[in-house]
Structure 1
Amino acid sequence: MNLVMRIYELGDGTPEVAVIGSIHGDEPCGAHAVERFVAGEPEVERPVKLIVANEEALDADVRYLDEDLNRAFPGDANADTHEGRLAADLVREVRGCTTLALHSTQSYAKPFALVGDVGAVSRSICPHLPIDELVETGDFAGGRLIDHAHTIEVECGLQGSADAEENAYWVIRSFLAATGVVSAPVEDEESPITLGTREDDVVTVYRMLERIPKEPAETYEVFVNNFELVEEGDRFAAAGDRTFTADRPFYPVLLSAYGYDDVFGYAADRIGTLD
């Protein structure tokens, strides 16, 4: 069965580096950034594969058709769902590649990265990306592409925004510089974010601790900012008339009023830095 997935291969040889955009169809920033990068006809120093993943959901402007693709990995070629089959196809395409997956969010305007566990790949690449925060998802990575080796996700900004599209493009450029695909350091006067090797800044690392459940209500609110410490006793969210307060200190990650159906986001701990 032919699963629609747009794939570009640049350079000679078998790619060992890959970039994926629009795993979610309502997050077009990745697709636009991939198209912009390819349209620039860049000179590459090693082969690379760039993929627009869930084209059918992208065309329909929905997150997914049958199930969340980023909860369906590793997938099954004989699955009953479009995304189940697509996940298996996508895993095959990036097998053996150091991979960047581009996303956007309703919770945070600046780019930040997520990995299953902080390892050699994230330690070597993330300090070269235009991010200040790296989140280790641990047990919460099940079904996500980052549950597989050598994959970094970057949330590029607010979903549907022009800034997310611009950020996604420069995240691609800095990732490909860090992996030796394009010349490093990457610097361009038009770039809105710092690129190339970090010299003075560090990436702060957080580890997810638990989901923050969201009960059914007509309206939701959040009162705190992501990656800023919530102290014990602070109110941080509301569902209808019910207000939630912290029973211990935590750092919010992916916390938003309407980003997820059943959770506000995640509580995390700050565990260190990369520099």
Structure 2
Amino acid sequence: MNAPAHTAYLHAQQFAALTPGPRLIVTGAVHGNETCGTQAIRRTLDDIQSGRLQLERGLLTLLPVTNPYAYAKKERQGDRNLNRNLRPGNPSGDYEDRVADVLCPWLDAHEVLLDLHSFHTGGQAFAMLGPRDNAGQLEPFSHERQEERLVAHLGARCVVEGWMQAYERGVQRRRRERPDAPAELLDAAYGVGTAEYMRSRGGYGVTLECGQHEDPHAPEVAYRAIRQTLALLGMARIPLQPPPPEFTVYHLEDVVDMDHAGDTLVKPWASFDPVAQGEPIGRRHDGTLVRAERDGFVVFPNPRALPGNEWFYFAVRSDRTLNIE
């Protein structure tokens, strides 16, 4: 690890109102090349420090840069992907594991998370939603209604669910086909990122994908989301805007890894581009085509993925509706 000295700490700013209320943490730059959240959080900090925004209830923690090493590199990750296998006490000593040792206790101390991201290729903003209430083994949860209300007010009309189920399938495939892969890629907890960790600790959290990395509108999407979250939770006197009249909800069915640096996508896919059963999505370096197993949609296509990491996701329409009351 060759992280520069100025990446040796996390810098969060916290505001505690004198009236009790929700405990909210907002994070940006979990991936170092995703800076819309950083810009929006810094704008919110300026609003608070100038008096334009006043916290009236609860506790607000703002973390503009969650992964300083990746941010300094202007790359997705430092040593590894911080938003996978997130937990304290990982023994590897990777930079992101050291970040997790600080970040996870901060998440533990809050009830609600808003995690702000962007994505590689074109497409509209979308929100990542957790599971329905359940007592299962994979991702037990009891805040479905609260999380759906939060998603409904963030401004995105597209919603994606099924993250952990897709990763469970991906890990099982790696164990069958690539048993010599790095241990973290074979870990059943590999899909756990900030929101999943938050749910595992009794809270709830939403990941908002605000647009393509360079989209000039993405910071505004992130800024509006912060303000609407504060409004929804009753933490500041900000008008709560009505949610969109309709949402399109997608369910992630699978995650497909890039196996080799020579793997290529057959076209410049954007998230939610439709694909028909049998249609080629990518081509392996040996010429083998990767085809859609059924009618569905491409999500998170990443033509610059690292070998062994996520190349694209496959989704179908979900029958889930959001509780927006």
- TM-score normalised by L of structure 2: 0.72
Deviations 1:126-145 (A, max 9, x none): 11111112212123272311
Task: Give 3-state SS (helix, strand or coil) of 2:227's partner.
Answer: helix
8 Å contact from structure 1 (residues 27, 103) kept in 2: yes
Which runs of structure 2 are paired with 1:121-132 in the superposition (5 Å)? Answer: 121-132=146-157
Superposition RMSD in Å? 2.6
Aligned to 1:138: 164
Between the aligned partners of 1:184 and 1:39, the Cα distance in structure 2 is 16
CA distance in structure 1 between the partners assigned to 2:266 and 2:215 by the alignment: 21
The yes-or-no answer on 1:44 pairing with 2:55 is: yes
Question: How many angstroms apart in 2 are the aligned matches of 1:185 and 1:64?
Answer: 37
Residue 233, structure 1, aligned to residue 281, structure 2: no
CA deviation profile, 1:203-237 (whole Å, cap 9, x unmatched): 22222111134342165443654224322133333
SS in 2 for 1:122: helix
SS at match of 2:83: helix
Residue 208 of structure 2 corresponds to residue 164 of structure 1: no
* Cα distance change on mapping 1:257 and 1:30 into 2, 3 Å: same
SS in 1 for 2:210: strand
Q: Distance in 1 between matches of 2:123 and 2:224?
A: 15
Contact 1:44/1:182 (<8 A) preserved: yes
Q: Deviations over 1:113-162 (max 9, x none)?
A: 11342423321211111111221212327231121211111111111332
**2:295 paired with 1:253:** no
Write the distance in 2 (CA, Å) between the matches of 1:213 and 1:266.
9
Distance, in Å, in 1 between the alignment partners of 2:303 and 2:238 is 39
Greater per-residue strand proportion: 1
Which residue number in structure 1 is paired with residue 258 of structure 2? 214
2:178 paired residue number: none
> Contact between 2:17 and 2:55, CA under 8 Å: does it hold in 1?
no
- Could you tell which deviates more after superposition, 153-162 or 212-221? 212-221
Paired residue for 1:153, among 194, 199, 207?
207
Report the Cα offset of residue 27 of structure 1.
Answer: 1.3
Aligned partner of residue 317 in structure 2, secondary structure:
strand
Identify the range of structure 1 (72-81 vs 265-274) with the bigger mean alpha-carbon deviation.
72-81
- C-alpha displacement of 1:49: 0.9
Q: 161-170 or 127-136: which moved more?
A: 161-170
Give the total of aligned pairs.
264
Between the aligned partners of 2:96 and 2:78, the Cα distance in structure 1 is: 7
**Alpha-carbon separation, structure 1, partners of 2:259 and 2:69:** 31
Report if the CA contact (8 A) 2:119-2:212 is conserved: yes
Stretches of structure 1 that go unaligned for 5 or more consecutive residues are: 187-195
Say if 1:108 and 1:254, in contact at 8 Å, map to a contact too: no
Relative to structure 1, is the Cα distance of residues 7 and 127 closer, same or farther in structure 2, using a 3 angstrom cutoff? same
TM-score for both structures, normalised by structure 1: 0.84
What secondary structure sits across from 1:222 in the alignment? coil
In structure 2, relative to structure 1, the CA distance for the partners of 1:259 and 1:173 (3 Å cut) is farther
Q: Partners of 1:256 and 1:204 in 2: how far apart?
A: 22
How many Å separate the matches in 1 of 2:56 and 2:90?
A: 33
Aligned to 1:81: 94
Matched-pair contact (CA < 8 Å) for 2:28–2:117 = yes
Matched-pair contact (CA < 8 Å) for 1:255–1:264:
yes
Identity of aligned residues (%): 24
1:1-49 residue CA offsets vs partner (Å, 9 max, x unmatched): x951121112425761110111111212211111111101211222311
Pair 1:104-2:118 in alignment: yes
CA distance in 1, matches of 2:46, 2:235: 16
Unaligned segments of structure 2, at least 5 residues:
1-6, 133-143, 168-189
